[in-house]
Amino acid sequence: MLHYPNGSKVFEVSIYNKDVRALVKENQSHGYFDDHWADLHVHNVVASDEIEARALIAERFPPTDGFVVEDVCASHC
């Protein structure tokens, strides 16, 4: 696992968009997000702990826009 001098670590955050996923199952597309958001995406986040990693990813991919965090784990889970 990567560690940074300030004690931060790299976390792998797995996310998808529940609204896109539901529409794709009905053979429809979301008006804004691409169909690939129906699938799980993994993003690396540098944070001090899992709580901070979740907060950082929520800023970029807001739950109010349908994004769901499926898993957060230390890099190379």
Q: What are phi and psi of 49, to 5 degrees?
A: -160, 180
Residue 75 in this model has a pLDDT that exceeds 70: no
- Residue 58 maps to a domain: yes
pLDDT, position 5: 65
Structure tokens at 5: 């001098």
- 15-45 pLDDT, tens digit each: 999 999 999 999 999 999 999 999 999 999 9
Q: What is the pTM of this model?
A: 0.86
**Measured distance CA(10)–CA(2) in Å, rounded:** 6
- Residue 65 maps to a domain: yes
Q: Which domain covers residue 65, as residue numbers?
A: 9-74
Structural domains counted in the chain: 1
